[in-house]
Structure 1
Amino acid sequence: MAAHTDRLLKRVLVPILLPEKCYDQLFVQWDLLHVPCLKILLSKGLGLGIVAGSLLVKLPQVFKILGAKSAEGLSLQSVMLELVALTGTVVYSITNNFPFSSWGEALFLMLQTVTICFLIMHFRGQTVKGVAFLACYVLSLLVLLSSLTPLTIVTLLQASNVPAVVVGKLLQAATNYSNGHTGQLSAITVFLLFGGSLTRIFTSIQETGDPLMAGVFVVSSLCNGLIAAQVLFYWNTKPPHKQKKEQ
């Protein structure tokens, strides 16, 4: 019975959460304070948790736009720059064969961000433009992932994430400040992005050792923190047209 349980546990943990040597260290030798293996376990667990959570991170934003039939308060330029950053991370990670647990959420966030871009255009009466944008984006992504794109270009794209994230978030922050409210910006999405980017600093260092990846998440955390602070600051402020309806 014990042997069966051990085999089952090993099948679950290896290699998804632990390399075999760490499994033996922790669960065969019972060295539960083995720091390097504990770091791997923590990093893998957090990484997979973020990837799983990313399936839902931007859905509140999507549903909020659909429910209101409006994208008021959302900066299209900001969302597009975020899409550039996410695309860069996905392409860079696939090209470098990084573990999926270290970047997988970028893939799901990318798909959700593309959807938000289209919805913003659609509710601004630019549906045809939105469809054309989707087609161009898919084509560009395929080219970036193909052998036609040299590694130097992929690395440059990832390096451009820092200015893309900073400018994108500052544009959204400026929109919030100018409007005096956060409009249809989803607080749930904002706070989840902030928490996820903070956690990714540790997991990217642990799993990839890539300073470029870690640097992007440091900058992303600072910028997401700014937007989160604005959400809290404008928490009780409603868009003017809603206030008029209530009067």
Structure 2
Amino acid sequence: MQSAIQSVTHNLPVFVQRPAIALIGQECYTTLVYNVDLSSTHCLKYAISKALGLGIVVFGSIMKVPQILNIVNNRSARGISLSMYTLEVMAYAISLAYAVRSRLPFSTYGENASLTVQNMIILLLVIAYTADGKTGRVDPSAHSTKITFAAALMGIGSLALATPSIIPAQTLTFLQACTIPISLASKVPQMAELYREKSRGQLSSFVVFAQLLGTIARIFTTMTETDDKLLLWGFGLAGVFNAVIAAQVMYYWNGDKALAEQKKRDGEKIGLHSSSSANIAPSFEPFSVSTHGPPKAGGRKLD
């Protein structure tokens, strides 16, 4: 069987060989592909890590599109925490700048670029589609100033993070360390929002579970391809918090239905109470006493 497979792997075309060698290196390509030798634990783990990393990079480019569509199609940001996305944008932007400027392998952070942009879009949409506190109406045009200010702030911040003359390497390393508490803090408002609403609202369950799986995969790729403890701690703790949010989403899976049924029951109670009140006969008063004028019609003045 192995010799039959080797007869194929020994004659792979160049356009297949080159990308594979670029991905896993000449040594592991020779071991795993050319010789079909799966006994090398090092090369096997490395190849799996590279494949996972590439998959995350590709999948990350569209991961939060369902969340964006949820908000736009429903014209509502109910159940989505603005605080969470504000902190998440900060953490993602800093981590992206740190990885690029540290020249880490692209497969260990590539999805950060697209996820940073997607988070920025979601942040602006949450601002636009948040209902007015007084009227309860959703009017994106009423938030145009806030949207413009937020977009400008994110653009300036990203430029500063990418410029060593503005934010030197030591400062960026400190900021990267800060992303761990920032990233964890970004999850807390969403946990609180889910607990308060007792419902998922417009929060995409697909995105929640994808984030959980992504952080688990990133723990593996970081352990395999780099020795950066900051990134490893960040992904590890983020995985724990993402697991809590995923558990909440499962617990409140039918929250919208339960809320609708509760409102229906409350409405029926109000209707029944109103009906009962209407059926009570008005009290009969055979006499009415007036101290400021003639007796009321239908009554007689007491002697």
TM-score range, shorter chain: over 0.9
The 3-state SS of whatever aligns with 2:12 is helix
Cα offsets for 1:36-78 (capped at 9, x unmatched) = 1111110000000011111121111111001110101111111
Contact 2:87 2:183 survives alignment (8 Å): yes
Match of 1:157 among 160, 175, 196: 175
Alignment of 1:82-161 (within 5 A): 82-124=88-130, 125-148=142-165, 149-161=167-179
Report % sequence identity. Answer: 33
Distance of aligned partners of 1:55 and 1:95 in 2 relative to their CA distance in 1, 3 Å threshold: same
Given the superposition, is the C-alpha separation of residues 245 and 129 from structure 1 closer, same or farther in structure 2, using an over 3 Å criterion?
Answer: farther
Instruction: Give the whole-Å Cα distance in 2 for the aligned partners of 1:116 and 1:69.
Output: 12
RMSD between aligned residues: 2.0
Distance in 2 (CA, whole Å) between partners of 1:60 and 1:109 is: 13
Contact 1:121 1:127 in 2 (8 A): no
Structure 1 residue ranges, 4+ long, deviating more than 4 angstroms after superposition: 1-4, 239-247
TM-score, normalising length from structure 2? 0.76
**Corresponding position of 1:22:** 28
Q: Give yes or no for contact 2:53–2:107 (8 Å, CA) kept in 1.
A: yes
Query: Map of 1:170-185 to 2, 5 A cutoff?
Result: 170-185=188-203
Q: Give, as a single letter, the amino acid of the residue that structure 2 aligns with 1:186.
A: S
DSSP-derived class of the 1:33 partner: coil
Paired residues, number: 246
**Residue 49 of structure 1 corresponds to which residue in structure 2?**
55
Tell me the distance in 2 between the aligned counterparts of 1:164 and 1:137. Answer: 16
Q: Distance in 2 between matches of 1:30 and 1:192?
A: 32
Are the counterparts in 1 of residues 94 and 172 from structure 2 also a CA contact under 8 Å?
Answer: yes
Distance 2:156 2:197 in 1: 35
Q: Could you say which residue in structure 2 is the equivalent of 1:69? A: 75
**Segment of structure 1 superposing worse, 6-15 or 225-234:** 6-15
> Retained in 2: the 8 A contact 1:183–1:239?
no
Q: Any stretches of 5+ residues in structure 2 without a counterpart? A: 1-6, 131-141, 268-303
1:115 shift after superposition: 0.3
Comparing both chains, which one has the higher relative contact order based on Cα–Cα distances under 8 Å and sequence gaps of 6 or more? Answer: 1
Which stretches in structure 1 are left out of the alignment for 5+ residues? none
Q: CA deviation at 1:147?
A: 2.0
In structure 2, do the counterparts of structure 1 residues 30 and 176 end up closer, same or farther at CA, with 3 Å as the change threshold?
closer
User: Contact 2:46–2:224 (CA<8 Å) still a contact in 1?
Assistant: yes
Cα separation, 2, equivalents of 1:87 and 1:194? 19
Query: Does the aligned pair in 1 maintain the 2:81–2:190 contact within 8 Å?
Result: yes
The residue identity in structure 1 corresponding to 2:73 is G
Deviations 1:59-113 (A, max 9, x none): 1111100111010111111111111111121011001001111001111111110
Return the index of the structure with the highest Cα Rg: 2
